[in-house]
């Protein structure tokens, strides 16, 4: 009889160890930190610029400069035109004082593989 209780206790403990981390999952997803968060807190612009991109009225100057220097394209990732435009827009981002961020977790909000983060001065 004790053997059955030990097996049952081990199953309960195993179940709790599995369920405990899951209970913290929604809280971890709800708090987003960094630039790739809803609302675009860092004012990122996608690299390269695509014709289908929606341009915001409050778009940072660096994003406007990149679009002027490197016209938006309609090519799919992997094509020669895409890579050429990506190279040019990356150089334009850095030349104008921005940082290039690689997006390893693409989503509906941030579908591009690379973004330009405008330089933000820490002094006023």
Residue 33, pLDDT score: 85
DSSP annotation of 31 = S
| Same-domain pairing of 96 and 55 | yes
Residue 2, pLDDT score: 65
Residue 15 lies in domain:
1-31
| Same-domain pairing of 49 and 95 | yes
- Report pTM: 0.69
| Same-domain pairing of 53 and 25 | no
| Same-domain pairing of 9 and 66 | no
Residue 106, pLDDT score: 87
Residue 19, pLDDT score: 57
* In-domain check, residue 25: yes
| Same-domain pairing of 54 and 24 | no
* In-domain check, residue 4: yes
Q: How many domains does the chain have?
A: 2
Residue 32, pLDDT score: 86
Helices 80-95 and 61-69, interaxial angle, to 10°? 140
| Same-domain pairing of 97 and 58 | yes
Per-residue pLDDT of the chain in tens (124 residues, 90 and over written 9): 666 656 655 665 665 556 555 444 444 455 788 899 998 899 999 999 999 888 888 889 999 999 999 999 998 888 999 999 999 999 999 999 999 999 998 898 899 999 999 987 555 5
* In-domain check, residue 38: no
* In-domain check, residue 37: no
| Same-domain pairing of 49 and 98 | yes
Residue 70, pLDDT score: 96
Distance set, CA 98 to CA 91, 93, 117, 122 (Å): 10, 5, 5, 14
Residue 78, pLDDT score: 86
- Is residue 48 within 8 Å of residue 75, measured between CB atoms? no
3 state DSSP class of 105: coil
């Amino acid at each position: 009889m004790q053997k059955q209780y030990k097996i049952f206790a081990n199953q309960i403990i195993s179940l709790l160890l599995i369920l405990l981390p899951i209970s913290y999952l929604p809280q971890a997803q709800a708090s987003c930190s960094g630039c790739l968060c809803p609302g675009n807190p860092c004012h990122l612009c996608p690299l390269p610029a695509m014709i289908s991109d929606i341009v915001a009225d409050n778009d940072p100057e660096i994003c406007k400069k990149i679009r002027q220097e490197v016209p938006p394209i309609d090519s799919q990732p992997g094509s020669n035109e895409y890579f050429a435009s990506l190279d040019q827009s990356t150089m334009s981002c850095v030349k104008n004082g921005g940082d290039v961020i690689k997006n390893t977790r693409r989503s509906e909000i941030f579908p591009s593989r690379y973004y330009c983060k405008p330089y933000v001065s820490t002094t006023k």
